[in-house]
Chains A and B, each alone.
Chain A
Amino acid sequence: MTTALAITDLTKDFPVGKRLFGPPRGVVHAVRPVTLDVAEGETLGIVGESGCGKSTLARMLVGLLPPTAGTIKINGQPLDNADPALFGRKIQYVFQDPISSLNPRKTIRQIMEAPLRHLHNMPAADRARRINQIFAAVNLREEFLDRYPHEFSGGQAQRIGIARALAADARIVILDEPVSALDVSVQAQVLNLLADLKGQFGLTYLFISHDLAVVEAVSDRVAVLYFGSVVEVGPATAVFSQPRHPYTKLLAESAPVVGRPLAAPEGRETELPDPLNPPTGCAFRERCSKASAICAQIAPVMTEVADGVSVACHHPLTGPA
Chain B
Amino acid sequence: MSAFFKLLARNRLALAGLIVMGAVVLLALLTPLLPLANPDVTDLGNRFKPPLSEGALLGTDHLGRDLLSRLMWGTRLSLAVGFAAAIIAATLGAAIGIIAGFYGGRTDNVIMRGVDMLMAFPYILLALAIVAALGPGLLNALIAVAAVNIPFFARNIRGITVGIAHKEFVDAARLCGMTDTRIIVGEVLPNVIPVIVIAMSTTVGWMILETAGLSFLGLGSQPPQADLGSMLGEARSALITNPHTSIVPGAMILVIVMAINLLGDGVRDALDPRLKSGALSRPMPTTRVERGAVPAPKRNALLSVQGLETQFHVKNRIYRAVGGVDLTVEPGECLGLIGESGSGKSVTALSIMGLVASPPGVITGGAVYYKGEDLIGAPYEQLRSLRGRRVAYIFQDPLATLHPLYTVGDQLIEAIRAHHPTPRAEARARAIELLKSVRIPNADQRIDSYPHEMSGGMRQRVGIAMALANDPEVIIADEPTTALDVTVQAQILSLLDDLRRDRGLAIIFITHDFGVVAQLCDRVAVMYAGRIVEEGPTKAILNRPAHPYTAKLMACVPELGQGRRELAAIPGLPPVVDALPQGCAFADRCHKVQDECRIGDIGLRDLPTGTRVRCIAPETTVSEAAL
Contact = CB atoms under 8 A, between A and B. Distances in A.
A255 B515 contact: yes
Contacts of A183: 340-341, 512
Given A49-B487, A184-B512, A254-B489, 8 more contacts: A63-B175, A84-B177, A185-B552, A186-B573, A189-B570, A216-B560, A256-B518, A258-B515
A264 B169 CA distance: 39
Nearest to B106: A20
B169 A188 contact: no
B573 A64 contact: no
A84 B561 contact: no
Contacts of A129: none
A263 B494 contact: yes
A119 to B, nearest CB: 4
Interface in B323-361: 340-341
Contacts of A188: 556-557, 567-570
Residue picked from B485, B514, B516, most chain A C-beta under 10 Å = B485
Given A100-B167, A105-B190, A262-B497, A257 B109 contact: no
Contacts of A251: 486-487
Residue picked from B169, B191, B560, most chain A C-beta under 10 Å = B560
B397 interface: no
Report the 6 A-B pairs with minimum CB-CB distance, sorted nearest first.
A256-B515, A118-B177, A188-B569, A49-B485, A217-B558, A262-B519
B272 interface: no
B559 A257 contact: yes
Interface stretch (B211-219, B452-460, B604-612): B452-460
Contacts of B440: 269
Which size class do B's interface residues fall under? 35 or more
12 contacts: A49-B485, A85-B174, A96-B168, A103-B187, A114-B178, A187-B556, A191-B567, A211-B558, A219-B564, A256-B513, A260-B518, A262-B493
B7 interface: no
Contact of B519 (A93, A155, A261): A261
Given A164-B176, A185-B570, A258-B518, A49 B486 contact: yes
Interface of B: 105-106, 109, 167-169, 171-179, 182, 187, 190-191, 340-341, 439-441, 455-458, 485-491, 493-495, 497, 512-516, 518-520, 542, 552-553, 556-571, 573-574
Nearest to A287: B487
Contacts of B518: 256-260
B566 A192 contact: yes
Contact of A254 (B191, B486, B514): B486
Interface string A259-284: 11111111011111000000000000
Contacts of B519: 256-257, 260-262
A100 B169 contact: yes
Given A212-B486, A268-B491, A118 B513 contact: no
Interface of A: 18, 20, 49-50, 59, 62-64, 84-85, 87-89, 92-93, 95-97, 100-106, 114-115, 118-119, 153, 155, 161, 164, 168, 183-189, 191-192, 195, 210-214, 216-220, 236-237, 240-241, 250-266, 268-272
Residue picked from A87, A93, A185, A219, most chain B C-beta under 10 Å = A185
Contacts of B560: 212-213, 216, 240, 252, 255, 257
Nearest to A196: B566
Given A103-B169, A212-B560, A219-B564, A115 B512 contact: no
B451 to A, nearest CB: 15
Contacts of A50: 456, 485
Contact of B176 (A118, A153, A214): A118
B34 to A, nearest CB: 42
